[in-house]
Structure formats: structure tokens, C-alpha cells
């Protein structure tokens, strides 16, 4: 089985290329982030025509996550216990940042972790609270069922080490690399999850559109998957789909693909 995660940066603008890539890469399950559309505007027919069922939760021009699967899409869960809200126009909103489903026995999450904006922005505190709530939720699930096969895939918006950014000094005073963010992500590893892409695909997954970042390989590794120990034993390989980032009109993220033994 082949599982991929991809921040597509607007699914309506890229549905045909995303589906074509998924078919060409022989992907069975695709976790999508930043779909940027309401549920009724999701380009469902493109996926159905290619044999994929889709579960999606959207939020208009912001956020949005989905899972497309051709190997089953059962027990769909939106968000998770304890997920914090974020004020939008003065109202507390549970943003569309998390969805999960059971696909051929594996519970796959599609996660779009809050960006944080700047370390002194309220969105930064929200990011840390969101990660903390997710870690608590997953820790409880694993305690209840240590043999569970779980994959938390998505855009984590955290570069775990200095090797995961093209220039550490460039990020001084910026988000994605601060000690509290890295500690929040380390908490998932401390809970027993495994960064299953790292042994196979340690390269960058995101390159900003500006200043020729992609041709210069001035990127970040912020898209990855944490797997439960039971699932990690089945991960036989992973790679970053850099060719998808090269395409005309592409997302600023590349997909990450995992090979899962049957």
C-alpha cells in the first residue's frame, strides 16, 4: 500500500494535476492539506472518476483537510478531543485542520498544523496548544490500544532540527524553528511515535515561491508523518515527490510518499 501526504495549496486550482499525480505515483491513500474550499465546492468528481473516495472538511478560502482513498474510507473523524478553538471575526472557531479515517486497517490523519505567524502573535500560542491537545489525544489512543496502526501525516509547520531548514540564521526570530515548537513536536516522539520518513527521505518538502527558493533548494522539511510503532514496522521506504513541485502552477509543497508493506 502506498500512502502520501501533500499540502496542495488550493485543491480547486490543482485538482486535475493532483489526481493525475496520484494515479501516476500509484498512491492508494492521499492526505491533503490546505484545500481552501467549503465541502460543497470540493472537486469530488475528479477523484471519484479515478477510483478514490474522499472525506473532506473545509473552511472556505482558508485551511481545509481531506483524505482520498481507493482502499477503503471508514470511521471518519473530524478534529480530535480537546482541539482548541481560534477566534475568527471575534467568534471562537474550530478550524478545519484535522481529519482521519481508517484505510485498509490503518487510521490515517491528515493534519494542517497552525502556522504560528510570529512568536509574539496569539496564533503562536494557539499553535502550541493545538499540538499539545493532539499529542494528548494520540497518547491516550495508544495507551488504550498499543497495537494500533496510526499515521499522523501532514503539514506540521515545524522544522524539527537545523538540518531541516536551508539557513538557520535566516529563521532567527521567526516561527517553525523555536524551541517551544520543536519541543511540542518532540513530544510526539517521546510518546512513542516514529518519524517514519526520516530514514528514507530527509530532504526539504517546502520551498517558498519567492526569490527562486526552489531552484536554489532553499527549503524546509515541514511535511512528514509520525507513525505508531506497529505501523512503523511496515514502512518499507519513503520519498519526496520533487517533480510535483517542479510542475507549472504547482503547490509550494512537495508530496511525501510512504511504502507500506501488506
Catalytic residue numbers, as ranges? 112, 155, 253
CB atoms within 10 A of CB 97: 27
Place of cell 501526504: 5
Q: Are 77 and 69 in contact (CB under 8 A)?
A: no
DSSP bridge pairs for 237:
259
Beta-carbon contacts of 58 under 8 Å, excluding residues fewer than 6 positions away, are 35, 36, 37, 38, 39, 41, 42, 64, 96
d(CA 189, CA 258): 18
Q: Are 67 and 32 in contact (CB under 8 A)?
A: yes
d(CA 103, CA 88): 33
Provide the Cα torsion 197, 202, 203, 204; round to 10°: 60
Nearest to 47, CA basis, from 22, 72, 19, 73: 19
Provide the Cα torsion 168, 33, 112, 260; round to 10°: -90
Q: Are 201 and 248 in contact (CB under 8 A)?
A: no
d(CA 241, CA 186): 25
Amino acid at each position: 500500500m502506498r500512502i502520501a501526504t501533500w499540502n496542495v495549496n488550493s485543491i480547486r486550482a490543482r485538482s486535475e494535476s493532483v489526481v493525475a499525480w496520484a494515479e501516476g505515483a500509484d498512491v492508494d491513500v492521499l492526505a491533503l492539506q490546505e484545500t481552501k474550499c467549503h465541502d460543497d465546492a470540493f472537486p469530488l468528481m475528479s477523484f471519484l472518476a479515478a477510483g478514490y473516495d474522499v472525506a473532506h472538511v473545509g473552511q472556505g478560502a482558508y485551511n481545509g483537510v481531506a483524505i482520498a482513498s481507493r482502499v477503503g474510507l471508514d470511521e471518519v473523524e473530524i478534529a480530535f478531543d480537546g482541539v482548541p478553538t481560534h477566534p475568527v471575526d471575534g467568534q471562537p472557531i474550530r478550524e478545519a485542520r484535522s481529519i482521519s479515517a481508517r484505510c485498509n486497517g490503518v487510521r490515517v490523519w491528515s493534519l494542517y498544523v497552525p502556522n504560528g505567524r510570529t512568536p509574539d502573535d496569539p496564533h503562536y500560542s494557539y499553535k502550541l496548544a493545538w499540538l499539545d491537545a493532539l499529542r494528548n489525544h494520540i497518547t491516550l489512543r495508544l495507551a488504550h490500544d498499543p497495537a494500533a496502526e496510526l499515521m499522523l501525516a501532514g503539514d506540521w509547520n515545524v522544522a524539527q532540527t537545523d538540518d531541516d531548514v536551508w539557513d538557520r540564521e535566516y529563521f532567527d526570530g521567526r516561527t517553525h524553528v523555536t524551541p517551544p515548537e520543536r519541543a511540542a513536536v518532540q513530544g510526539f516522539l517521546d510518546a512513542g511515535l516514529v518519524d517514519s520518513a526520516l530514514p528514507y527521505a530527509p530532504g526539504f518538502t517546502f520551498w517558498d515561491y519567492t526569490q527562486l527558493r526552489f531552484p536554489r533548494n532553499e527549503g524546509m522539511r515541514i511535511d512528514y508523518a509520525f507513525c505508531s510503532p506497529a505501523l512503523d514496522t511496515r514502512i518499507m521506504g519513503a520519498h519526496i515527490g520533487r517533480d510535483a513541485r517542479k510542475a507549472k502552477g504547482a503547490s509550494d509543497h512537495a508530496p511525501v510518499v510512504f511504502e507500506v508493506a501488506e
